[in-house]
């Protein structure tokens, strides 16, 4: 049961009733039961066991670290706990990658999916680390730690929440009033429009060019690469909006994960705007300790810490060379930026023209790296890039492969509509317009009609596979 399926709305309605009938102080238990039922709906009970095992490890390691006081035992609890959690993740990911397993591997040791495990593992590690570093107190209740990891709106693909932000919200979650429910529904609907209409329609342009790069040349692969950049953004940020809207209905506020990432003026700026909860996790729990340990080698230490951090970021997406190359491309870009920053220290601030150039260069570097992310292998990514140099003329074929000019035109028009609405929101045009009920309801109905008429069924959320 994914968030964009009609059955999920039934589940959400049922959840609201169950939530409403539970005393406020006990609602986290209702959330826990609902979250476990939600996870069971994917017919992978082994994953539920992995979730409970990780919650147990995190709960015990955090309590152990807290009891250990300030001594070296605290570090041992942190390292031991994190290693055990990562071991569970690696085992599940290996068992869930049928192509990576040898033929003799027993059927009982294979998993059809590893949905959600990468996400709750990162949260479990962050919980143990935050307690070990003295940022938060260990939670005495195992059930609450399990609820923190399992909370169903964010179980499948984040946001990657911190215990310090989520655990206190479990104490007394309340269903919001009309205004809260209205904003939650709008967030959910807007997210569904982004993922089911924009993301899925862009996929029609992306998929053929990446499946058969030899059939396309010239502008076509460039268009496909741009289309993928926006497909991934709409798909992933759309899911996050839906997750945040769902959680808001149940009185929980989740963290914002995207902030106009393609307007970033540098790679470091991009990572402050793209998958924010993941990049903060990497920064706090991988980069910061590595950088601190290697601080005596200012340039090499920084570059090394960035490369290792982003290499691991690539591998988190999958044990494959093309993800590693994607990670290293970002790590190298950040390393170059850090050296440039050292050389430029004290120089005058950039001009608006320089910022625009920074946005364009950053966007194209990010798109280039996305080619390695999207392609199934490094060789396939190189084939897509090489196809740019092939004779032009593939654009019409790509449009044909995407279903013709009408769907492609509709997709581009819908993307234009999205840009217009986003721009209007930034300029606060809607704050004024939304005061008029007819305008507001016309927008709501327009959004629903657009979703019903233009939605495409696809392969589900892209980031749920990681």
Contact between 216 and 227 under an 8 Å Cβ cutoff? The reply is: no
Cβ-based nearer residue to another protein, 97 or 255: 255
Cβ-based nearer residue to another protein, 87 or 292: 292
CA torsion angle 390 321 273 429 (round to 10): 40
Q: How far apart are CA 35 and CA 47, in angstroms?
A: 13
Taking the complex as a whole, how short is the minimal distance between the CB of residue 356 and another protein, in angstroms?
A: 23
Taking the complex as a whole, how short is the minimal distance between the CB of residue 283 and another protein, in angstroms?
A: 5
Contact between 123 and 149 under an 8 Å Cβ cutoff? The reply is: yes
Determine if the peptide bond prior to 56 is cis (ω within 30°): no
Taking the complex as a whole, how short is the minimal distance between the CB of residue 300 and another protein, in angstroms?
A: 12
**Contacts with another protein, residue ranges (CB under 8 A):** 75, 133-135, 268, 283-284, 287-289, 291-296, 298, 301-302, 338, 341, 345-346
Cβ-based nearer residue to another protein, 192 or 286: 286
Cβ-based nearer residue to another protein, 191 or 331: 331
Taking the complex as a whole, how short is the minimal distance between the CB of residue 465 and another protein, in angstroms?
A: 29
Cβ-based nearer residue to another protein, 338 or 465: 338
* HSE of 438, CA atoms in CB hemisphere, 13 A: 0
Cβ-based nearer residue to another protein, 90 or 283: 283
Cβ-based nearer residue to another protein, 299 or 429: 299
Q: How far apart are CA 308 and CA 296, in angstroms?
A: 17
Q: Which of 35, 6, 30 is nearest to 18 (CA)?
A: 30
Q: Is the dihedral of CA 399, 401, 406, 408 positive or negative?
A: negative
Q: Which two tokens stand for residue 129?
A: 């680390």
Q: Which two tokens stand for residue 276?
A: 């924010």
Taking the complex as a whole, how short is the minimal distance between the CB of residue 414 and another protein, in angstroms?
A: 37
DSSP, residue by residue, 272-292: TTSSHHHHHHHIIIIIHHHHH
Taking the complex as a whole, how short is the minimal distance between the CB of residue 328 and another protein, in angstroms?
A: 18
Q: How far apart are CA 426 and CA 420, in angstroms?
A: 10
Taking the complex as a whole, how short is the minimal distance between the CB of residue 262 and another protein, in angstroms?
A: 22
């Amino acid at each position: 049961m994914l968030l964009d399926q009609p059955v999920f709305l039934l589940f959400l309605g049922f959840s609201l009733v169950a939530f409403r009938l539970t005393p406020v102080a006990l609602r986290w238990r209702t959330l826990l039961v609902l979250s476990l039922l939600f996870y069971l709906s994917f017919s992978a009970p082994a994953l539920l066991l992995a979730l409970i095992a990780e919650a147990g490890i995190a709960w015990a390691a955090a309590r152990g670290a807290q009891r250990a006081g300030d001594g070296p035992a605290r570090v041992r609890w942190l390292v031991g706990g994190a290693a055990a959690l990562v071991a569970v993740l690696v085992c599940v990911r290996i068992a869930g990658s049928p192509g990576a397993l040898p033929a003799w591997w027993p059927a009982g040791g294979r998993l059809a999916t590893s949905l959600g495990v990468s996400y709750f593992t990162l949260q479990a590690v962050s919980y143990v680390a935050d307690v070990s570093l003295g940022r938060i107190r260990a939670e005495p209740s195992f059930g609450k730690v399990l609820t923190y990891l399992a909370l169903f709106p964010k179980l499948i693909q984040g946001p990657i929440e911190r215990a310090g932000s989520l655990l206190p919200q479990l104490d007394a979650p309340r269903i919001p009033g009309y205004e809260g429910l209205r904003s939650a529904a709008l967030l959910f609907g807007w997210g569904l429009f982004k993922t089911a209409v924009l993301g899925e329609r862009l996929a029609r342009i992306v998929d053929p060019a990446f499946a058969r790069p030899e059939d396309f040349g010239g502008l076509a692969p460039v268009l496909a690469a741009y289309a993928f950049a926006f497909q991934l953004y709409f798909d992933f940020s759309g899911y996050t909006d839906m997750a945040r809207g769902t959680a808001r209905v149940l009185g929980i506020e989740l963290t914002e994960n995207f902030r106009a990432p393609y307007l970033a003026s540098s790679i470091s700026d991009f990572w402050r705007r793209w998958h924010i909860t993941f990049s903060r996790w990497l920064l706090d729990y991988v980069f910061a300790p590595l950088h601190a340990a290697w601080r005596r080698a200012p340039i090499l230490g920084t570059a090394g810490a960035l490369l290792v951090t982003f290499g691991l970021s690539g591998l988190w997406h999958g044990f494959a060379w093309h993800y590693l190359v994607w990670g290293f491309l970002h790590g190298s870009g950040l390393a170059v930026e850090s050296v440039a920053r050292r050389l430029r220290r004290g120089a005058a601030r950039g001009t608006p023209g320089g910022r625009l150039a920074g946005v364009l260069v950053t966007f194209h570097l990010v798109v280039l790296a996305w080619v390695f992310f999207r392609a199934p292998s490094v060789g396939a990514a190189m084939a897509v890039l090489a196809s740019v140099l092939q004779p032009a003329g593939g654009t019409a074929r790509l449009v044909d492969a995407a279903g013709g000019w009408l769907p492609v035109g509709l997709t581009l028009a819908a993307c234009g509509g999205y840009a217009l609405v986003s721009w209007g929101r930034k300029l606060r045009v809607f704050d004024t317009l939304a005061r008029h009920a007819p305008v507001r309801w016309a927008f709501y109905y327009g959004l629903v009609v657009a979703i019903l008429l233009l939605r495409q069924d696809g392969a589900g959320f892209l980031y749920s596979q990681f």
